[in-house]
Structure 1
Amino acid sequence: MKIVVDENMPYATSLFARFGEVISVPGRPFDGSVLTDADALMVRSVTKVNAELLSGTNVKFVGTATAGTDHINTDKFDELGIYATSAAGCNAIAVVEYVFSVLFYFAQKGQFTLTDKTVGIIGVGNVGKILAQRLQALGVKVLLCDPPRARNEGLTVFNEFDYLIEHADILTFHTPLIQGGVDNTYHLFDHQKMSEFADGKMIINASRGEVIDTIALLRSLEQGRLWQIALDVFENEPHINLSLLPYIQIATAHIAGHSLEGKIRGTTLLVEQYYSYLAKHSPLQIESLEKPVSESLLQELLPEPQYQSIYLNEPFSLAIFYRLMNLIYDVQTDDAKFRYTLLTRDAIDLPIEVHHRFDYLRKNYSVRREWSSLNVITSCSETAKKLQALGFKIKYQPNK
């Protein structure tokens, strides 16, 4: 059995070796000739997969170690007998923690208190749900918009997008990319919506670049619209429009979900799913293998974090929370690397063309941990409860 994996999937070579031969290749550009005698293909979001790529190969299983699936076109997969799956939710926590870092950057820059603002979350799936829970745990008012869930679940907690445009101070996008149909998200935030969104508000996009109309956004900004903007995703990646950079406050190279935990979890979820697929379709090939469990594999593989424990004996405050967040991750570091790498000719030994440098940033991303990697030891019960609800690992030690 031969499994082709993206070279940027951590531990993929060793984890999939239990099933057979593993070939590690670049995800972009992708050389389809390697699939000729392959049985399975494991990719990330940079690789476009469709029936044309897989036709004439032995590939029957396609897995993407990402939550998003818009790079996988499953048309004709049924005809070819190909099963496709994703690692839904694998990087949700990482994206949420990225958004929190952006929010606190905005608050610091604008000298406001986050709990005085209303955050509108567009797309309440794996990311949006956790983001809403943590913001509410912090005492921030949230407005939720998710038309498919509102329609299918009949819940009254959801609002129309137009309501968020009017009433939210901050819009943060976490929708899949859907082109056409009743739930279209392509250019969801277009010229018309921008014209209705008041100056002084904030925009975050950590979903897909095409959810925001880039040309309309650029024209609005050139015409003097005043928003605080953070973009982790762009239209036409990796061929992004650098004209936006002078107008936006935070720009990063589609790395919001790139925590070490998130990337490893993407791999381990696919290992678990591939085992289940083989158990159903080729049980003899795995009869000697123990069933892998994603979270168990994750805990075995995670290295010791740079910061393991911290003693905290003060009542909870936003200032304390901000310092703890920055100890683990500060989005301003990634923004600085993005601008330097893309705008400085001598920054790296690569051609100046933006697509080379955008991919370089993704492939060479620094190790980033999630908040749960930090064990906070505290004697304050209020602090323990609040930080645990926000995602930190807590050890409560009351004073004797």
Structure 2
Amino acid sequence: MEFSVFIIGPTAGQGSEAEVYASILREIRLSDELGFDMLWFAEHHFDTLFSTSPSPNLFLAIAARETRRIKLGTAITVLPFHHPTRIAEEGAMLDLLSNGRFQWGIGRGITGHEFQSYSLDSAHSWESFVEAHDAVLAAWRTGRMAHDGVHVKVPPTEIAPRVVQQPHPPVWMTAQSPKSVEWAAAHDYPAMQIGEDLATGAQQRARYEAAARQAGVAVRRGGIVPLRMVCVASTDAEAREIAAERVVRFWDHTARTTAPVFTKSPGAAAGTAGYEYWLTMNPQKFVGVGLDGLMEAGLVLAGSPGTVIDQVQRQIDALGCRQIMCDFWRASGIDAREGSMRLFANEVIPAFRERTPARAVAE
């Protein structure tokens, strides 16, 4: 099992922007020192309660110099928001600066107001995502980019610098809809999932495995990778006291921010095309269930180290996962977060280091 730290960095309710960024810099170093396997940075825009991390690459550049061992990735780079030549060149820079530790996490975006502010039609996000993905990988493999698509047009262009990892840095993908899960499986990309409860995640696991078999992929990297809000404290009662108000507030805000209601409200996207699946499973169905309901659904891991060990095992049993992304940010404030990270690293992770979960698809 591997465990990673996911940093989304909301400012509202956490502190000033300077305090939040100072905390992120401390946690970059702490994640490496404590033995976490990967460090992920979100990309979100125009909403300080949701995230104040508009450029994960800037944080990764700092992390490349502040860490020595931990792998460093974007979770995610929203491909429709960026020109692929820029993505390819900056990704190669990060791979060089980190001595080959860069992980490329990608997705097409889910937050409606971000598409609106970029003056983009979310109905075209899938096609734009696939074209950008293909163009960037070709550039990393060959050192040149040339793409004449509907959404991505690049004349023959030399891309420099070159990536360290060959043929390219490992690719990870957010995958929520059936199409995305199946596409990730066909490419043997781990499917990072942000809002699925355990019951839905188990269905996604079956869908992933079936698609991998159909594509003839013997999964070596892929499978479901859940993102969970995490709070560890000395006792269950203390963890619940730390996490309860924050988890519920951030979950409810996340549900509203990503809600595919497609009206003229500030958080709504431009249209339903391509996001039909989110209408049926989006996080709004867990609004109002409270901390107990979120924990029962497997969306939050909170408690003493022993309790959280049991909760992690429940994730493994349901999803067959080989990595869990830990969001310590939305479960605790600056004062408690680093203590939660230490308890997780020192008392939870060792319980799983010698365990080897079954692969998602038999090799």
Both proteins in one fold, TM over 0.5: no
TM range (shorter): 0.3 to 0.5
TM-score by length of structure 2 reads 0.32
Greater helix share, 1 or 2?
A: 2
Q: Which has the higher contact order (CA 8 A, sep 6+)?
A: 2
Larger Rg: 1
